[in-house]
A and B are shown apart, each in its own frame.
Chain A
Amino acid sequence: MRRVQVIRSRKTWDVVIVGSGAGGGMAAKVLTEAGAEVLMLEAGPKFDTARDSKMFAWPYDSPRRGMAVPARQFGEFDAGWGGWTLEGEPYTSAPGSQFDWFRTRMLGGRTNHWGRISLRFGPDDFRRKSLDGLGDDWPTTYDDLKPYYDEVDKLVGVFGSVENLPNEPDGIYQPPPRPRCYELLVKQAADRLKITCIPNRLSILTRPLNGRPACHYCGQCGRGCATHSNFSSPSVLLPPALKTGRLTIVTDAMAREITTDATGLATGVSYVDKKTGRDTHVQARVVVLAASACESARILLNSKSSTFPRGLANGSGTVGKYLTDTTGTAVVGFIPRLMSGVAHNEDGAGGAHLYMPWWLDNRKLDFPRGYHIEFYGGRGMPRFGFLGNIEQLTGIEGSGRPPGAAGYGKQLKDDYRRYYGATIGFSGRGEMVPNADTFCEIDPSVVDRWGIPVLRFHFKWTDCEYKQVKHMQETFRGLIQELGGTPLSPMPPKEHGYGIEAGGRIIHELGVTRMGNDPGSSVLNKNCQAHEVKNLFVADGGPFVSQADKNPTWTILALSMRTAQYIAEQRKTGTV
């Protein structure tokens, strides 16, 4: 990878991109290949999977056995450099709101450690208001995005199967890996309960692609793949961009404001050079914000001027509004049939090989939007916390021993061996409907360590989400029962939101710089171009008009590709 350069010239870049993740990386690739001189600002340090990945580490390589540490809150071997709390980078929540905000500060951002679940939004997902009257329709349709999804599939590589399901568009797939043992059991149970269960759609190569080798099934995608066999921005998007010779990346650069001229056009980006603490400015003809949804909103809101007293591109007051996250809850079950399993390497690809897309009709239910189901289990690498709370399993495994009497000694040692690989966990990932009480804004009092005003979050779930999550819990308990197993937790009561995760915990923040045809209620037009600032674009999850029962990353990639191609065309005609 090309060495980082220190900016000394007063050069005007064709495009400055803030952020190196899915959206930023894709925009850099498309724009450099179209001839633009691009500067990319990344808040974190350089991360190189070939050098920095902890792939193949054993837990005993560290005295901490892989536990989370403050600097790596998904685990000390995980590729994610960051977490819910960053030293010197606070955020606040309004009274009565709980929002947990995950920041990954590294080249490639969250694409280094995400789950690789690569689902296209379906035709219905772009027109929910037309279907059920809630929220808003996108100004684009599935058909507008389909050509870009196709290109993303071919560029990045994704495995899956053609299923012809109405709202789960099929992609251009590599073959999916065979299911694991426990996944076959789940499939049987799902079939009996008439829950659709199909091969997963993960951006993990099962065939070589564009010089990247296929997966070697170590199951450690989250540690960063040293062979680039899964999708991350630095593995797939940055190399071709750098190859053009037209991309310069500056790391440890905390963007804080977009500057404008008297005509209201963006002129560049001010950022803090974290290494020196000095404020720096780079000039740009076009600015693409892709700092992750809420960070981009924060930059806009902090870019105040007499032309834009409420923040850049925020004449409508929409920046920060319509914030959503995916809903989530989980149930783990103990499955006696899986005890004392045949020893074998069950790692597989770094994610489940099967999943369950939304299979019901919301018109027949008491909640408006759907969810998909992920599950996990098996004979994985032992981690800190291995078979914790083992006393929960005594008595439910059919031994006839009194419940809770896990004891100690040889019997206990044998129990650990028998129970290993015999639990299965189910997680739901559902669509939240935007509501007026959920948004982010600038906190009037608090700044971070560089003096940049921070975000204050307001977050509320409504019955749309609570009832959906109740349904998830009931469905998972039904699946565990069908498997002949026992759930390891009681049904969460209504007072605990039926077990709904706190806002932000699923790390799919969307909507805070949304698209729309009406400049009075949206920040961007259908090309992700700011209504009020024609040389300003947003390419992360902020433009989304709605969530879906599907993860957002694939749509971020497709949308960013489309936006960047639009920018390239506009540059050619001189309109931007």
Chain B
Amino acid sequence: MLGLLVSAPVAAGFVWTEAEAREAHHQAQAARQAAKKAGTTFKPKFFTAHEYATVAILVDVIIPKDERSGSATDAGVPEFMDFIVGDQAPRQTAMRGGLAWLDRECERRFDRRFVACDDAERRDVLDDISGPQPPAATLTQGVAFFRMFRDLTASGFWTSKMGIADLQYMGNTLVAEWKGCPDEQLRKLGIA
């Protein structure tokens, strides 16, 4: 079912009715939930099994679950990434190579790849490639990879249903009468 969604054609003239879009979305959600219950895992099309396991851990380190919303994996970000990178060839080498770079840096420090490291070891590497500038000269490619990966994680999370609810985006709906800026925000901004 999820496969149907990710292979939907996008040629000019492809028409989605609202009903079809809602149905595709529900199908995808249902497929994910069914897969979780059945204990089967999503089968990535682009990532290898090892890469996908790395991605799933890394996205949740970047956007973890908290009191307001779930983690990146809860919002389907690894599946989203697998689709996007699989769909867009220019992204592939940077992603594949960046994950390889990450594994090699972890092995250099701890003799283990990223998935086998513990939390403190992972942060040891990530702090260096996500922190204050400038990084050590040997780490600049890791910094570039991490920024790209963080941006893609954010795209996947904040455009998901969970992310949109978390942001309290209240639009995309019919408004009969536009009332302008609410009083509370006017006061907060100090506008008369």
In this assembly, does A502 line the interface, its C-beta being within 8 Å of a C-beta of chain B? no
Task: Find out whether the CB atom of B171 lies under 8 angstroms from the CB atom of A408.
Answer: no
Query: Beyond A51-B15, A409-B62, is A344–B87 a contact (Cβ under 8 Å)?
Result: no
Total CB contacts across the A-B interface at under 8 A: 197
Task: Find out whether the CB atom of A410 lies under 8 angstroms from the CB atom of B66.
Answer: yes
B89 — which chain A residues lie within 8 A by C-beta? none
In this assembly, does A413 line the interface, its C-beta being within 8 Å of a C-beta of chain B? yes
> What's the interface size class on A, roughly?
35 or more
Contact with B along A68-82 (1 / 0, CB 8 A): 010110001000011
Q: Which of B21, B126, B175 contacts A347 (CB 8 A)?
A: B175
Q: Which of B12, B83, B147, B182 contacts A45 (CB 8 A)?
A: B12
Contact with A along B16-50 (1 / 0, CB 8 A): 11100110110000000000000000000000000
A380 — which chain B residues lie within 8 A by C-beta? 169, 171
A185 — which chain B residues lie within 8 A by C-beta? 189, 191
Q: Which of B132, B147, B169 contacts A379 (CB 8 A)?
A: B169
Q: Which residues, 332 to 361 on A, are CB-close (under 8 Å) to B?
A: 337-338, 341-349
In this assembly, does A132 line the interface, its C-beta being within 8 Å of a C-beta of chain B? no
Instruction: Report the minimum CB–CB distance from B77 to chain A (whole Å).
Output: 11
B173 — which chain A residues lie within 8 A by C-beta? 56, 218, 345
Q: In the complex, A216 Cα to B174 Cα: how many Å?
A: 5
Instruction: Report the minimum CB–CB distance from A78 to chain B (whole Å).
Output: 12
> Closest residue to B71 on the A side, CB-wise?
A413
In this assembly, does A315 line the interface, its C-beta being within 8 Å of a C-beta of chain B? no
Task: Find out whether the CB atom of A60 lies under 8 angstroms from the CB atom of B160.
Answer: yes
Task: Find out whether the CB atom of B181 lies under 8 angstroms from the CB atom of A402.
Answer: no
B186 — which chain A residues lie within 8 A by C-beta? 181, 184
Q: Which residues, 105 to 136 on A, are CB-close (under 8 Å) to B?
A: 105
A387 — which chain B residues lie within 8 A by C-beta? 154, 158
B178 — which chain A residues lie within 8 A by C-beta? 177-178, 215, 217, 348-349
B87 — which chain A residues lie within 8 A by C-beta? 63-64
Task: Find out whether the CB atom of B21 lies under 8 angstroms from the CB atom of A63.
Answer: no
> Closest residue to B69 on the A side, CB-wise?
A413
Q: In the complex, A83 Cα to B144 Cα: how many Å?
A: 30
Query: Beyond A61-B25, A402-B132, is A345–B159 a contact (Cβ under 8 Å)?
Result: no
B168 — which chain A residues lie within 8 A by C-beta? 343
> Closest residue to B134 on the A side, CB-wise?
A404
A64 — which chain B residues lie within 8 A by C-beta? 10, 83-84, 87
B191 — which chain A residues lie within 8 A by C-beta? 181, 184-185, 188
A403 — which chain B residues lie within 8 A by C-beta? 132-133
A346 — which chain B residues lie within 8 A by C-beta? 170-171
Residues of B in contact with A (beta carbons under 8 Å apart): 5-6, 8, 10-13, 15-18, 21-22, 24-25, 61-64, 66, 68, 79-80, 83-84, 87, 126-127, 130-133, 147, 150-151, 154-156, 158-161, 163-164, 166-176, 178-182, 184-186, 188-189, 191
Residues of A in contact with B (beta carbons under 8 Å apart): 45, 51-52, 54, 56-67, 69, 71-72, 76, 81-82, 105, 177-181, 184-185, 188, 215-220, 337-338, 341-349, 379-391, 402-410, 412-413, 416-417, 420
